[in-house]
Structure 1
Amino acid sequence: MRQLSLFLSAHGGASFALGIHTVLIAWISVAYLHLSPSALAWVQAAALIPSVFAILVAGVFADRYSPKKILMTAYSILAIAYLGLGLVVYFNKLHFWGLLCYAVVAGIGNAFVQPVREKLIALFPKGELQRRISGASIIQFSSQSAGIVLASFSDHFGLYYIVAAQVFAALAAVFMVLSMRFEMDFHRDKARGIIPDIRIAIKAYRADKALTQLLVLIAFNGYMHMGVFLVVLPIIARDVYGFTSVQYGLLQLSFVIGMVAAQWGFVLRSKIQFPGQGALFCLLYSAVVGFALAQEPTLIGLYTLILFWGWVAGSSATHCRLVLQVKVSHKLRGKMMSIYQFVLFGLAPLGALATGHILNFYSLQQILKGMALSSGILFVIFMFSRSLWAVEQK
């Protein structure tokens, strides 16, 4: 039990630092450096593109090496990235290329966290898998919310002190993992090489129609509901509503609160028999959000819609992860999750870059309506094949 507590505490500390990162990287871009939409898109993509390839390596390592060593490495990389940002801020050397380098290093560190976390969630004993996944997510998003709240006051407290808190949280996560005495028996995968291991995972996806459809859904979510979101939300905040850092932080917080609410729903409800169905219905909910945001709602309406969007994103993510956990054997879980994350984060920077450049020719309203329409169309397409729909959690 102590090992689980240390792991979750470390995960919470790292998530707190990630919450600060989520606000600062966008707010520094639009408010301090006054970047154009296309330049903002490159900054957001820089945090995702390197992690796409690092995720594949991370998944293989999660099945082959000690989870503790991988977490130590990942959290140490993140601490170094945050410390670098702190030094740049302290010496007043903020510029586009420096922020780009920071985004790259932070993206690599975050890439190694997810496959290990999924591996450990399945390994810890007791409790339904659904509740373990949601419980870890609640800690993650609650800590992330606290980081977002703190980062939203960067104009009041000073950017340097916010980054210092980020560095402290990351270092605390490193020391908590170092304190773990990880004696849990885990499957040590046979060393075959990274490429052969990845091929095994790809073959497993192709052999199962439901998993193939899951990858299509994840690719769409990464492109539309992650990539588009990363660029559209800061632009809406700056150009449409003229937000301050506090108002933008609250907007990010609304999204995360929605995700936390979704996870509490999974903890409190009974076992989900058909997780694939919930994942597909989230496409329709996303379409509603896109059309509503395109109407330029009032401030209360905007915060409400972003809150609901967070709930949809959290619900979709957990349903999709449940499908994967149900369908995949433990010895392949790290590699399979790395492919899952590769597709999700691989399409996200493409969505961000495309959105940043498309905004030079089309309005925000047109982009949001296009996102909504494509979500509805994909839902209809999936209705013609019931493989993902029929996945059952025994």
Structure 2
Amino acid sequence: MRIARSQTFAALSVPNFRTYVSGAFVSNIGTWVQRVAQDWLVLNLSGGSAMAVGITTALQFLPAMLLSPMGGLLADRFDKRKLLMLTQSWMAVSALALGLLAVTGVAQTWHVYLFAFVFGLGAAFDAPARQAFVSEVAGADHLTNAIGLNSSSFNAARLIGPGIAGLIMASAGAGWAILTNAVSYLAFLIALAALDRSKLAKTEPLVRAKGQLREGFSYVFHRADLMIALGVAFAVGTFGMNFQMTNALMVRNEFHLGAEAYGLLGSIMGIGSLLGALLAARRGKVPSLRFVVGMASFVGVVITASGLAPGYLWYAVILPIMGLTVLLTLTAANMYIQTSVDPQVRGRVMALYMTVLMGGTPIGAPLLGWLAEIFGPRAPLVGGGLLQLVTIGIVVVLVRRLAAARATDIDPGPKTVEPVEDEVDVEPVEDDPDGVQPVGVQPASTATNETTRTTTATTSAQAQTITTSHRVLR
């Protein structure tokens, strides 16, 4: 009851959600351990190549760009819990294989490339299902709070995971850190098996039919507010969320420090991320689109400032601010999208969200890695922050123009209809003694009114959707 009265932790009053988030927390710690260890491993195997780190990141997130929409469709069609058990097992085996290669000393750069891609295949189908499954575990009444607490779990793990990775890498090597992630998946699999399935707020499965994937794209395309939210997520995911790569480059190539200093930065950034997640969980209402855009723009400014930090200490001071702003931005976008879509298309819409958020990384990571090779390790931060700001501006301007064009094309006012008498010659009927119209003939004025009402209703219904989205943009 004490938990239920706390706005920050309200969703934890649901037993299924407590079980789910506990297992996810342990698994997320392992995920962050591997993210840090994998980038450090490929950086050392490649002789400090920034491009190699960028390629690894790109390969890991490439499947998300290509396959997440299909993953969202599967999440709408099938049991999300069973789908998650399959994807989690896939990623556990992938981590186990790469960890064994590294521990035995036979790992090469191409091995990391290969297993980063294999791991990404599982993540492409896992992420949409996990996002959509939160509503089933927590229920509609606690959805907004559950989204915030789910982010808190992920970012609390970010606070702990990199530090653990740094300690393991310094004492035993990157391979053992990656093996730690393989073991951590057991916690999430056990939690999924332990859920009380009778208490899940299941969404009616989508019946298989043609055009369902296209339907998800069409749904988003006709919602200007969703297009802006997704565009902002693309900008942040492509140019702003390459922290493992940028931190590794700054620590090794700019500040000339080791694995412990690298792992410490991840934990320091996690402090800000955790604070942001807790603040998001306290929200009593869904954030506005204006808040999402404003926070994303501020993230670009902070990232640019971090690239200008004069030393390791100043860089470490900026990272919590970066973690806070990034988390508030992504949680706000996630809340806005999940709570404003039809439950029957939630899986597909969240798949598009994950596609633009994670799928932009294969574009941004190699580009920023190339900038680091040419201009030095600070270039991905300064250039990435500026590119993020420019992209957000372009998205907002283009979508607003598109919404305005649609509103112009659809005139919500009544159409002018020419009198039917001018087009159809109707015989006089005054000689009919009963005053009854001939069968099949309707008075001209009545036909005109019906045509006008039908045209007006259809046009107004179409215009209402555009007007609503356009009003959200303002």
- Aligned match of 1:134 in 121, 134, 148? 148
Equivalence map 1:145-224=2 (5 Å): 145-159=159-173, 160-183=175-198, 184=200, 185-192=202-209, 196-224=211-239
Residue among 76, 80, 97 paired with 1:84: 97
Distance apart, 1:279 and its partner CA: 1.3
Deviation at 1:169, TM superposition (A): 1.0
Farther-moved stretch of structure 1 (314-323 vs 154-163): 154-163
- State whether residues 68 and 182 of structure 1, in contact with CA within 8 Å, keep that contact through their aligned partners in structure 2: no
Q: Which amino acid aligns with 2:148?
A: S
Contact 1:17 1:144 in 2 (8 A): no
- Name the residue aligned to 1:55: 68
- Residue 42 of structure 1 pairs with residue 55 of structure 2: yes
Q: Contact 1:276 / 1:388 at 8 angstroms: preserved in 2? A: no
Change in Cα spacing, 1:367 to 1:3, as seen in structure 2 (3 Å) is closer
Distance apart, 1:269 and its partner CA: 4.3
Conserved 8 A contact 2:76-2:346: yes
Give, in whole Å, the separation in 2 of the partners of 1:350 and 1:56: 18
Structure 2 CA distance for partners of 1:27 and 1:216, relative to 1, 3 Å: same
Distance between the aligned counterparts of 2:381 and 2:184, measured in 1? 36
Going from structure 1 to structure 2, the CA distance change for 1:328 and 1:287 (only over 3 Å counts) comes to same
CA distance in 1, matches of 2:52, 2:178: 22
Q: What is the letter of the counterpart of residue 343 of structure 1?
A: V
Change (3 A) 1:310 1:370: same
Q: Distance in 1 between matches of 2:31 and 2:69?
A: 21
Give the Cα–Cα distance (whole angstroms) in 1 for the partners of residues 296 and 142 of structure 2: 26
Q: Taking structure 1 as reference, are residues 389 and 298 closer, same or farther at Cα in structure 2, changes over 3 Å only?
A: farther
1:264 equivalent in structure 2: 278
Indicate if the aligned counterparts of 2:128 and 2:351 stay in contact, CA closer than 8 A. yes
1:242 partnered with 2:256? yes
State which drifts further: 27-36 or 375-384. Answer: 375-384
**CA offsets, 1:289-310, max 9 Å, x none?**
2332232333232112111111
Is 1:390 matched with 2:472? yes
Q: Contact 1:258 / 1:308 at 8 angstroms: preserved in 2? A: yes
CA displacement at 1:149 relative to structure 2: 1.8
Of 330-339 and 84-93, more deviation after overlay is shown by: 84-93
Look up the match of 2:330.
317
- Seq. identity, %: 19
Counterpart amino acid of 2:219? A
Shift of 1:60: 0.8
- Per chain length, whose mean CA-contact separation is higher, i.e. which structure has more relative contact order (CA < 8 Å, sep 6+)? 1
Moved more, 370-379 or 284-293: 370-379
Point out where structure 1 has 5 or more consecutive residues left out of the alignment: none
Q: Which amino acid aligns with 2:342?
A: S
Secondary structure of 1:112's aligned partner: helix
Q: Tell me the CA shift for residue 33 of structure 1.
A: 4.2
SS of structure 2 residue aligned to 1:114: helix
Alignment gaps of 5+ in structure 2: 1-13, 404-468
Bigger mean CA offset, 167-176 vs 361-370: 361-370
Counterpart code for 2:110: W
What does the per-residue CA deviation read over 1:342-362, in whole Å, with 9 as the maximum and x for residues that have no partner? 122221111001112233333
> Which of 315, 339, 352 is 1:326 aligned to?
339
AA at the equivalent of 2:472: A
Cα separation, 1, equivalents of 2:270 and 2:61: 19
Picking from 84, 87, 91, the partner of 1:74 is 87
Q: How does 1:284-363 map to 2 (within 5 A)?
A: 284-363=297-376
The equivalent residue for 1:125 is 139
CA–CA separation in structure 1 for the residues paired with 2:380 and 2:470: 28
Select between 283-292 and 88-97 the one with higher mean Cα deviation: 283-292
- The change in CA–CA distance for 1:140 and 1:365 in structure 2 (over 3 A counts) is closer
The alpha-carbon deviation at position 127 of structure 1 amounts to 4.6
Cα distance in 2 for partners of 1:364, 1:92 equals: 28
3-state DSSP of counterpart to 1:284: helix
1:283 alignment counterpart: 296
- Work out the number of aligned pairs and report it: 388
CA change 1:334–1:54 in 2 (3 A) is same
Q: Which moved more, 1:201-210 or 1:383-392?
A: 383-392
Q: Secondary structure at the match of 2:257?
A: coil
Describe the shift of the 1:389–1:22 C-alpha distance in structure 2 as closer, same or farther (beyond 3 A): farther
How far apart are the structure 2 equivalents of 1:37 and 1:349?
Answer: 14
Q: Does 1:23 align with 2:36?
A: yes
- CA deviation after TM superposition for structure 1 residue 381, in Å: 5.4
CA-based RMSD of the aligned residues comes to: 2.4
Contact kept in structure 2, 1:60 and 1:334, CA below 8 Å: yes
Kindly indicate whether the alpha-carbon contact (under 8 Å) linking 1:293 and 1:368 is maintained by their aligned counterparts in 2.
yes
Aligned partners of 2:283 and 2:342: how far apart in 1?
A: 25
1:317-363 superposed Cα distances (whole Å, 9 cap, x missing partner): 01111221232111100011111111222211110011122333334
**Is 1:113 matched up with 2:126?**
yes
Q: Distance in 2 between matches of 1:254 and 1:172?
A: 25
Paired residues of 2:232 and 2:395 also in contact (CA < 8 A)? no
Letter in 2 for 1:172: A
What secondary structure does 1:295 align onto? coil
Alpha-carbon distance in structure 2 between the residues aligned to 1:360 and 1:126 = 48
Q: Which entry has the higher C-alpha Rg, 1 or 2? A: 2
Contact preservation (8 Å) 1:281, 1:379: no
TM-score of the two chains, using structure 1 as the length reference:
0.90
**1:32: how far off?**
4.7
The DSSP-based 3-state class of the residue aligned with 1:361 is helix
The question of whether the paired residues in 2 share the 8 Å contact of 1:3 and 1:180 is answered with yes
Query: Is residue 236–residue 357 contact of structure 2 (8 Å, CA) maintained in 1?
Result: yes
The residue type equivalent to 2:241 in the other structure is M
